[in-house]
């Protein structure tokens, strides 16, 4: 996959949006020193290029009663076909409690991160996996507490050192033209 080059203005826009995805184009324009339309055009381009996938909301799972965190290693049977493996991935993708899924090295095939409301939901997921007939085994680690979580842009920034510089505050005011993520792109 080709890496897309970002200029300093793109980086400033992305940094501001990671702090407040509802920031208005007017507020972003003040931060980067461009017109509102120029910022909107850049955001449209960043969406078309796949840099901005969506505008999201960060929820406190604990306050919503989703307080069971677990990591599950999944091992498939050696004779598992590619089609059956895809079925396992689809089962994981459709489960509302599976937050992430990675293909990993070693004896396991997948590592998933789960945030569920209770142990029963986690047990049901494990049973669904075993009922596929192609899962050889699972190993579950329960998280005792979450010390911190980072978003993907924070991790990306740490490796690329592209977000250095002053931390600009972003206004809470929302531009009516940007409230709905579908209106951009």
In a domain, 36, yes or no: yes
Q: What is the pLDDT of residues 56-73, one digit of tens each?
A: 777 788 888 899 999 999
> pLDDT value at position 155?
60
Length of the chain equals 185
What's the whole-number average pLDDT of the chain?
84
Q: How many domains does the chain have?
A: 2
Give percent of the chain above pLDDT 90.
58
Pair 81, 104 in one domain: yes
In contact, 154 and 15? CB cutoff 8 Å: no
Listed in sequence order, the DSSP H helices in 69-139 are: 82-94, 119-130
pLDDT band at 75 (very low <50, low <70, confident <90, very high): very high
Q: 111 lies in which domain range?
A: 62-143
In a domain, 73, yes or no: yes
Which of 6-10, 98-102, 131-135, 156-160 has the weakest average pLDDT?
156-160
In a domain, 2, yes or no: no
Q: What is the pLDDT of residues 136-179, one digit of tens each?
A: 999 999 999 888 877 666 665 554 554 454 444 445 444 444 44
- Which CATH number covers residue 88? 3.30.70.920
Q: How far apart are CA 138 and CA 116, in angstroms?
A: 17
pLDDT band at 181 (very low <50, low <70, confident <90, very high): very low
Q: How far apart are CA 43 and CA 25, in angstroms?
A: 9
Pair 46, 102 in one domain: no
> pLDDT value at position 158?
59
Which of 101-105, 110-114, 133-137, 145-149 has the weakest average pLDDT?
145-149
């Amino acid at each position: 996959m080709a890496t897309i080059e970002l200029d300093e203005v793109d980086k400033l826009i992305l940094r501001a949006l990671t702090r407040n995805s509802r920031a208005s184009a007017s507020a972003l324009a003040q931060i980067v020193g461009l017109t509102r339309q120029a910022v909107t055009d850049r955001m449209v381009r960043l969406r078309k290029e796949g840099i901005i996938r969506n505008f999201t909301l960060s929820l406190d799972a604990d306050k919503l009663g989703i307080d069971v965190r677990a990591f599950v290693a999944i091992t498939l049977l050696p004779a598992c076909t590619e089609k059956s493996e895809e079925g396992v991935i689809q089962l994981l993708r459709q489960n509302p409690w599976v937050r992430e899924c990675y293909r990993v090295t070693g004896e396991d095939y997948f590592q998933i991160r789960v945030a569920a409301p209770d142990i029963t939901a986690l047990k049901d997921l494990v049973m669904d996996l075993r009922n596929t007939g192609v899962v050889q085994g699972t190993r579950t680690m329960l998280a005792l507490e979450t010390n911190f979580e980072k978003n993907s842009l924070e991790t990306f920034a740490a490796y690329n050192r592209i977000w250095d510089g002053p931390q600009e505050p972003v206004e809470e005011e929302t531009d009516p033209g940007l409230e709905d993520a579908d209106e951009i792109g």
